[in-house]
Structure 1
Amino acid sequence: MNRLLAAELIYGRLLTIREPHLIERYNKALAGFGLRGTQLESFDIDMTGFSPQIADELGDKDYLDPDRVNRRFIIMTPDQENLPVVHTSFSNTAGLMHEFFDANVRAINAVTIKDALYGEIEDSVARVETLEDLLSINEVRFRVLSAEDLLGKAAELRQLADRLRSSDNAWRDDAMLNRMVELVKLTGDIRQNVLVPDKLVFRHDAYWANHFGGVFIFVDEKNTTVICDPEAPGFRRSRPWQVSYIGLDDPSRIFDFLARTGRIELPRASWVEASGLYRHRADMALTALAERSEPDTDMSKIDGIWLQTWAQRNAGLVAEEGSYPFLMDMQRAIARTGNIRMEEISARQRFMLIRAAPQHPDQWLTNRLIAQFNPADFVSRFIFDKQGFYQAYEGYRETYREFVVSRLTATYLQDKKRFRKQLYDIGDETNA
C-alpha cells in the first residue's frame, strides 16, 4: 500500500493532529471508549476522527467501528466536516456525519474551542448477524459526550440557572452561586453559546454495508430492495411481504430493478457521446486484457496508440474476450441511431452501457453497484467502490499496481470534479 499512500490514493486529504492539547483530548475520548491512549506525537484523522496511524498503533483498524455497527466518532474541530471518511462499514456514514455537522454547526463550533466531542452513531442493533438486522435500521441517534465534560458542565449550569429562577431562596445559596461562577468560566454564557447539539436523530436510507460480502439496500416509497449474495443469512426470509431480494448473481433482475425505478440512464447519444464513457471503459477493458495475457508488458508505455497497436496485433484474443469490440460497436450504434435496444443486449453486458441517473439521490450507490459489474474499470471502482478497489489492488501484479497508480494520478486526481462530471455527470459525494 506504500505506493497508494505516496500518491494519496488511500488515506488522502486527512487532517494532521499534532498540538499537545488536542492529542490529550483525543486520548480522553479513546479512554471514554475503553481504549488506551496514543503515544504518537502526531497523527492524521478523517471526518469521523479515525486515524490510520492510531489503528496501526492499537493493532485494530476497527477501533472506531467495533462489530462494524454503531460507528464511533471523535470530533476535534469543525474542519473535519470537509474531510473524507476513509474507513467505514456503511456507505452512508459520510452522509450522516454531514447531516450532524450541518444540523449542529453552532454547538460544534462552540464546544471544540475548549473540548472534543465523541460518541457513537447508535443503530437499533448491537450486532449484525442476519439481513433482518440491517433492515431493522431505519434511523440512527448520535450519542454525544465531550472529552473535558464541557457538555456535562453546560447541562449542570443550565440546571442551576433554572433552579435560581424557580426557587425564591436559591440566591442565598453561596455554594451554588460559586459553583455557577466556576462553570461559567469554563462554558461561557450558555444563553449565547449553544453547547449542546440539539438534533441527534437522522434517517438511515439507502446504503451499502460490507456485511455478508457486501449488501446494497435501496429504499422506495412502498418497498425496500436488497441486493446481495443469495447465501446471506435471511435472504428472502426477512420481511418477504415488504422486501424484494435480488442476488448479485442475477444481473438481469438487477438491471430491470434499476431501470424500473429510474436509477439509471439508458444509452442515449445526448450523454454517451459527450461523456466519452464507452471509450473509457473500452480502454480499461483492453488494458486489463493486455496485462492478463502478457504480464511482462512494460505498462509505462501504455497510451492510446499503444493500445490500438496491441489490439491489432492480438485481434483474435480481443475478439474472443469481447468487451472492446462490443463497446466500439455500441459507440457506433449510438452515433448512427441515437440509442441502443437494450433487450437485444445480454444482461451482464448492459452494465457496460449505463451509468446512474445523475439527479437521483441514490446516484453514488447505484454507480457503486454498476462498478462491480465492470471490474476492469479500476478508475470507476476507485471513485465509487474504494473497498472493492483496494481488495482488487492487493491481487494486482507489481507492474500493474504501478500503472494503476500512475493512471489515477494522471487522470482522476488532476481534477476530480471535472472528471466525475464528464464521465458520470455527478458532483460531490454527500450521502454514499
Structure 2
Amino acid sequence: MKRLIQRGLMFGNLFHVSSPALVERYNRALKHLTGKTTTLTDFHIDISGYAPEIGEELNDHLYLNHAGVNRQFILLSTDQKRCPLLGAKFSTSYTILREFFDTNEAQLFALTARDAVAGELVNSVYDISTPQRLFDIRSVQIEADTTQGTVQSANNLAKKVDRFLQEDDAWFDDVLIAEMIGLAGETGDVRRNPVRLNHMEFAQENFWTAHFGGLYIFQATDRQAAITSRSKEPLGDLPVTRTYDITERNRIAQFLDDCNLVEPIVKARGVDAAAILRQKMDFILIDAVAGTGVDLSNTTRRDMRRLAREHSSLVPEAYKALGQLVNWAEHGGSWPKIDSEHPAYFYTLRAADTSDKDLVNMLLAELCPQDIRQLFICHKELFYATYAGWSDSKKEYVADYLEREYQVDKAGARAALFGHEAAMDAAPGPWDRNDMIDRVGPWGAVRRR
C-alpha cells in the first residue's frame, strides 16, 4: 500500500492534529465518548475524527465505531468536512456527516474555536448479530455537543430566558436569575449568538453495508432487493422480495432495469461516451497482460494498441465487445450484441439520475472490478482489498494512473463520468443512436427467466 500512501491515494486529505491544544481537546472528547485516551502528540483524522495512528495504538480500529454500528465522531475543525471517511461500515455515513457539517457550519466553527464537538450517528439498532437486524435500521439521527455541554447549556439558558420574559414575577426570582447568569458565563449571549445545532434525521432505506461480507439493500425502490457480495444462503430469509448474490448477473440486470436505476453510457448526455468506454478497454487490457511481465509504465495510446496486438490471445471478450460499441458510437458501425450475461454488459452502464446514483455506481464498480478508476472512486474499501492481490506491475500502473489522471481534478473526473445534464430535443441524424438503444439494447438483451 506504500505506493498509494505516497501518492495521496490512501490516507490522503486527512486533518493533521499536531498542536497541544487540539490534542488535548481530542483526548477530552475521546475520553468522553469511549473512556480512552491517546498518548500520541501528532496524528491525522478523517471527517469523523478517526485516526489510523490511534487505531494502531489502541489495537482497535473501531474505537469510534464499536461493532460497526452507531458511529461516533470527534470534530476539531470545520476543515474536517473536506476529509474522507475511512473504514465506512455504511455507505450513508459520509453523506450524513457532510450534510451535518454543511447545515451547521457557522455553529460548528464557533463551537470548535473553544472545544471539541463529540457526537454519534444514532439509530435504533445497537447489535447486528444477524442480517435481519439491518432491516430494523429505518433512520439515523445525529446527537452532538461539546465536551463541556455547551449546546445543552445554551438550550437550558434559552428556556430560562423565555421563562424570565414570560412570567410576571420572574424579576423577583433570584434563583432563576442566578442560574441564567451562571449559564451565560458558559455560553455567552444566546439571544444574539445562538448556539444551537439543527436536529437532523436521515432515512436509511437504500444503502450498502460492510457487514456480512458486503450487502446492498434496496427498500425504497419499485422492487425491494438485497444483493450480497458472498453466497446468499447463510443470510437466511430477509424481509425483502428478492435476494441475489453478486454472481447472478442476469437477475441483477433485470432488477436494475425494472427500477430504472441505470442507463447506457452511450445514451448519457454531457459525457464523452467513446472516451469513457475506451478507457475501460485499457483497464481490461492491463488486467489481462499484467501477469506476463510486460512493462506497463508510461503506456500511451499507441502502446495499448501494441499490447492488444501482441497479446491478442489474452484479450478477453469484454474488451472486444466494448471496442465494437465504441466503433458503433463513433462511426455508426454494426450494433454489438451484448446481453446481460456478457462479461462486458455492466461496463456499458452507469447509474441513472436518481437519489441512489452513488449506491448504484458502487454496485456497478463491484460488478466491473477491472475498471480500476470507478472502483477507486465508488468503492474504496473493495479497491484497497483488490489492490493487495495485484502484481507489482499492475499496482504501479494503477497508482501512477490515478495520481496523474484523477488526483489532479477529482471533481472534473467525477462530473465527466457520472454527471447528468438535462435532456434536450435534438434533430435526428442519419442513424438515430437513442432509437437503436431503445429498440435493441441494452434492455432488450436482458434474458427474462
Partner of residue 430, structure 1: none
Gaps of 5+ in 1: 428-432
Task: Provide closer, same or farther for how the CA distance between residues 223 and 259 of structure 1 changes in structure 2, counting only shifts above 3 A.
Answer: closer
- Summarize deviations over 1:64-94 as a string: whole Å, max 9, x none: 1111111111122223223222221011111
Of 309, 312, 322, which aligns to 1:312?
A: 309
Deviates more, 1:384-393 or 1:135-144: 135-144
Q: Cα distance, 1:204 vs. partner?
A: 1.7
Q: For 1:9 and 1:102, locate their aligned partners in 2 and report how far apart those are by CA, in whole Å.
A: 25
Letter in 2 for 1:118: A
Of 412, 422, 426, which aligns to 1:418?
A: 412
Partner of residue 252, structure 2: 254
Alpha carbons 1:139, 1:202 under 8 Å: kept: yes
Letter in 1 for 2:290: E
Please state whether the residue corresponding to 1:415 is helix, strand or coil: helix
Alpha carbons 1:68, 1:89 under 8 Å: kept: yes
Partner of residue 227, structure 1: 227
Letter in 1 for 2:341: S
Partner of residue 395, structure 2: 401
Please state whether the residue corresponding to 1:141 is helix, strand or coil: strand
Partner of residue 194, structure 2: 194
- Summarize deviations over 1:299-350 as a string: whole Å, max 9, x none: 32533222222221222232xx323222212222334548957674634431
Alignment of structure 1 residues 133-212 onto 2, 5 Å: 133-162=133-162, 164-165=164-165, 171-172=171-172, 174=174, 177-212=177-212
Q: What number of residue pairs does the alignment pair up?
A: 419
After superposition, the CA RMSD in angstroms is: 2.6
Gaps of 5+ in 2: 422-449
Of 326, 329, 351, which aligns to 1:356?
A: 351
Partner of residue 26, structure 2: 26
Alpha carbons 1:106, 1:194 under 8 Å: kept: no
Alpha carbons 1:25, 1:148 under 8 Å: kept: no
Please state whether the residue corresponding to 2:398 is helix, strand or coil: helix
Q: For 1:329 and 1:343, locate their aligned partners in 2 and report how far apart those are by CA, in whole Å.
A: 10
Q: For 1:339 and 1:111, locate their aligned partners in 2 and report how far apart those are by CA, in whole Å.
A: 63
Please state whether the residue corresponding to 1:411 is helix, strand or coil: helix
Q: For 1:40 and 1:264, locate their aligned partners in 2 and report how far apart those are by CA, in whole Å.
A: 47
Q: Cα distance, 1:193 vs. partner?
A: 2.3
Q: Cα distance, 1:288 vs. partner?
A: 0.9
2:72 matches 1:77: no
Q: For 1:46 and 1:252, locate their aligned partners in 2 and report how far apart those are by CA, in whole Å.
A: 38
Q: For 2:334 and 2:70, locate their aligned partners in 1 and report how far apart those are by CA, in whole Å.
A: 46
Alignment of structure 1 residues 318-337 onto 2, 5 Å: 318=315, 321-337=316-332
Alpha carbons 2:206, 2:219 under 8 Å: kept: yes
Q: For 1:72 and 1:256, locate their aligned partners in 2 and report how far apart those are by CA, in whole Å.
A: 38
Letter in 1 for 2:130: T
Q: Cα distance, 1:208 vs. partner?
A: 0.9
Q: For 1:414 and 1:339, locate their aligned partners in 2 and report how far apart those are by CA, in whole Å.
A: 37
Alignment of structure 1 residues 383-402 onto 2, 5 Å: 383-402=377-396
Identity of aligned residues (%): 30
Alignment of structure 1 residues 232-243 onto 2, 5 Å: 233-235=234-236, 237-240=237-240, 243=241
Query: Which of structure 1's runs of 4+ aligned residues deviate more than 6 A?
Result: none
Q: For 2:48 and 2:415, locate their aligned partners in 1 and report how far apart those are by CA, in whole Å.
A: 27
Q: For 1:234 and 1:109, locate their aligned partners in 2 and report how far apart those are by CA, in whole Å.
A: 44
Partner of residue 289, structure 1: 288
Task: Provide closer, same or farther for how the CA distance between residues 396 and 270 of structure 1 changes in structure 2, counting only shifts above 3 A.
Answer: closer
Task: Provide closer, same or farther for how the CA distance between residues 102 and 247 of structure 1 changes in structure 2, counting only shifts above 3 A.
Answer: same
Q: Cα distance, 1:121 vs. partner?
A: 0.5
Q: For 1:246 and 1:220, locate their aligned partners in 2 and report how far apart those are by CA, in whole Å.
A: 17
Partner of residue 13, structure 1: 13
Alpha carbons 2:13, 2:82 under 8 Å: kept: no
Task: Provide closer, same or farther for how the CA distance between residues 167 and 418 of structure 1 changes in structure 2, counting only shifts above 3 A.
Answer: closer
Alpha carbons 1:268, 1:338 under 8 Å: kept: no
2:112 matches 1:112: yes
Deviates more, 1:211-220 or 1:175-184: 175-184
Q: For 1:214 and 1:343, locate their aligned partners in 2 and report how far apart those are by CA, in whole Å.
A: 28
Q: For 1:291 and 1:214, locate their aligned partners in 2 and report how far apart those are by CA, in whole Å.
A: 27
Task: Provide closer, same or farther for how the CA distance between residues 26 and 426 of structure 1 changes in structure 2, counting only shifts above 3 A.
Answer: farther
Please state whether the residue corresponding to 2:226 is helix, strand or coil: strand
Task: Provide closer, same or farther for how the CA distance between residues 258 and 340 of structure 1 changes in structure 2, counting only shifts above 3 A.
Answer: farther
2:299 matches 1:302: yes
- Summarize deviations over 1:21-79 as a string: whole Å, max 9, x none: 22222111111122422222232222211222222222221111111111111122223
Please state whether the residue corresponding to 1:265 is helix, strand or coil: strand
Please state whether the residue corresponding to 1:277 is helix, strand or coil: helix
TM-score (normalised: structure 2): 0.85
Q: For 1:107 and 1:270, locate their aligned partners in 2 and report how far apart those are by CA, in whole Å.
A: 40
Alpha carbons 1:125, 1:133 under 8 Å: kept: yes
Letter in 2 for 1:256: Q
Q: Cα distance, 1:107 vs. partner?
A: 3.2
Partner of residue 102, structure 1: 102
Deviates more, 1:76-85 or 1:245-254: 76-85
Q: For 2:32 and 2:231, locate their aligned partners in 1 and report how far apart those are by CA, in whole Å.
A: 39
Alpha carbons 1:381, 1:388 under 8 Å: kept: yes
Partner of residue 373, structure 2: 379
